[in-house]
C-alpha cells in the first residue's frame, strides 16, 4: 500500500533493459542509506521465526488453544513476526493466485501501463516508493483492493484481453480467505493481550479495508548494490504475507538484519503500526525489507487488514495501568495514513509521532 512515483513505469523499462545486458546498474538503483554491507554477511544465516501450528485450534482442547495464544503473543512481543502453518487457506488456492500474479507481471509493458498507478494513488501497477525517496526499488508491484469495494475486476479488464474472470475470481477468492485468517489472528492476538477475543472486532464490524500488494523482484546483476524494498514498518493492523521459496525477506532484530527462512506452506504474519499502538506498545511493529539476488526472481503476496478510515485508533482502557500508562494519543486512521508515505521511516519512528509526551 505504498504510494507511487511518476517514474514507476520507467522503473520497469530500466530493469528490462538492464536484464537484457544493454545497461549497467544505474545510480538511481544504488541503495546508499540502508546498510547494504550487512546483507552479504547476514543473509546466509536464515532465521526461522516462530512457526505456530493453527491446527491445534480445531483439533485440540482449551489447553492447546491457550498454547497457541501464548506462542503468538510471545512472538509479537519479542519479534513482531511469526509464521502460521495449517492456517486453513487451501494450498491449491495459493498456487493459483501465484500463477495469476506471474501472469500479470509477464504481460507486456503496454498492457501494464493501462493499469498504471498515478502519483499519489494507492492502487494499480507501479514501483513502491515514498514521496521523498530518490533511490528506486529493484521491483515491480501491483496493488489491489477487496474491501470496502473491489477494484480487481476493473484492473483485470485493463490488463487482459481474455480470461479476465480467471484473474479477478482467483484473487478475490484468495483475498477473502486471507481476510478470514487475519480476522481470526486478530482475535487470538487480542486474547494474548489479556482482552476478550472480540475486543477489537468493532474496528471491522461495519467496514474493513482489505488490500493486497503483489511484488515481483527480478534477478539483479549487482544485488549487493540494489534493494528490493527499503527498510520500513507497515502502517496497517496486520500484514499476512506469502512468499515463494526464494530468500528475500529480512527483519531487523537485535540490532542486525536477519533473513527469514522461506516456508511456502506457511504465511508470514507481522504486526503493523496500528497493532503496536492498540497494544500500548506490547506488540512490536519492526523494520523489515526485501533484498534481491543475482539468479532467481522472487514473488511475494502481501495482504493488509485495516479498519475504515474514520476509525479512531486508541489502546483499550484495559491495557492502560499506572505501571503502563497510555503511550499514544487517539487519532483516526485517515490522519495516520495522510502522513505515512510522506517520508521514509529511518527507524521504527512512524508510530512515535503520535507518542504522548510525558510530563
Which contacts qualify for 349-352: CB closer than 8 Å, 24 or more apart? Answer: 350/233, 350/235, 350/273, 351/233, 351/273, 351/276, 351/277, 351/285
Q: What share of the chain is helix, strand, coil (3-state, %, to 5)?
A: 35, 20, 45
CA distance 185 to 190: 8
Residue 280 vs residues 161, 184, 311: alpha-carbon distances, Å:
49, 21, 17
- Nine-digit cell string for 107: 504481460
Q: Distance between the two ends of the chain, CA-based, in angstroms?
A: 36
Q: In terms of C-beta density within 10 A (0-12 exposed, 13-18 middle, 19 or more buried), how is residue 226 classed?
A: buried
Q: Is 298 a catalytic residue?
A: yes
Which entry of 183, 298, 326, 350 is annotated as an active-site residue?
298
Distance from C-alpha of 325 to C-alpha of 62, rounded to nearest angstrom: 32
* Angle (deg, nearest 10), helices 152-159 and 164-192: 140
To 10 degrees, what angle do helices 164-192 and 62-78 make?
90
**What residues act catalytically?**
298
Amino acid at each position: 500500500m505504498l504510494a507511487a512515483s511518476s517514474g514507476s513505469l520507467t522503473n520497469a523499462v530500466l530493469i528490462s533493459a538492464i536484464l537484457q545486458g544493454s545497461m549497467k546498474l544505474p545510480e538511481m538503483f544504488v541503495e546508499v542509506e540502508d546498510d547494504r554491507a550487512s546483507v552479504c554477511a547476514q543473509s546466509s544465516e536464515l532465521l526461522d521465526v516462530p512457526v505456530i501450528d493453527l491446527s491445534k485450534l480445531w483439533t485440540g482442547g482449551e489447553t492447546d488453544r491457550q498454547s497457541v495464544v501464548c506462542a503468538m503473543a510471545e512472538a509479537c512481543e519479542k519479534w513482531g513476526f511469526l509464521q502460521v502453518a495449517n492456517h486453513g487457506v487451501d494450498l491449491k488456492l495459493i498456487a493459483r493466485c501465484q500463477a495469476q500474479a506471474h501472469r500479470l507481471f509477464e504481460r507486456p509493458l503496454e498492457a501494464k501501463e493501462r493499469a498504471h498507478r498515478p502519483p499519489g494513488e494507492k492502487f494499480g501497477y507501479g514501483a513502491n516508493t515514498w514521496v521523498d525517496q530518490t533511490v528506486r526499488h529493484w521491483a515491480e508491484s501491483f496493488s489491489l483492493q477487496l474491501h470496502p469495494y473491489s477494484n480487481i475486476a476493473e484492473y483485470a479488464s485493463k490488463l487482459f484481453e481474455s480470461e479476465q474472470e480467471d484473474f479477478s475470481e482467483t484473487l478475490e477468492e484468495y483475498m477473502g480467505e486471507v481476510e478470514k485468517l487475519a480476522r481470526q489472528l486478530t482475535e487470538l492476538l487480542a486474547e494474548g493481550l489479556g482482552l476478550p477475543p472480540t475486543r477489537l472486532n468493532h474496528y471491522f464490524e461495519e467496514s474493513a479495508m482489505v488490500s493486497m500488494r503483489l511484488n515481483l523482484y527480478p534477478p539483479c546483476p549487482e544485488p549487493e548494490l540494489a534493494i528490493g524494498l527499503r527498510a520500513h514498518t507497515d502502517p496497517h493492523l496486520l500484514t499476512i504475507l506469502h512468499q515463494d521459496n526464494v530468500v528475500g525477506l529480512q527483519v531487523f532484530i537485535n540490532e542486525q538484519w536477519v533473513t527469514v527462512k522461506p516456508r511456502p506452506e506457511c504465511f508470514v504474519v507481522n504486526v503493523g503500526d496500528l497493532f503496536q499502538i492498540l497494544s500500548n506498545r506490547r506488540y512490536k511493529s519492526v523494520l523489515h525489507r526485501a533484498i534481491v539476488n543475482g539468479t532467481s526472481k522472487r514473488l511475494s503476496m502481501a495482504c493488509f487488514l485495516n479498519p475504515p478510515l474514520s476509525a479512531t485508533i486508541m489502546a483499550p482502557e484495559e491495557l492502560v495501568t499506572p505501571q503502563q500508562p497510555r503511550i499514544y494519543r487517539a487519532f483516526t486512521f485517515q490522519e495516520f495514513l495522510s502522513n505515512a508515505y510522506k517520508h521514509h521511516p529511518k527507524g521504527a519512528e512512524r508510530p512515535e509521532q503520535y507518542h504522548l509526551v510525558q510530563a
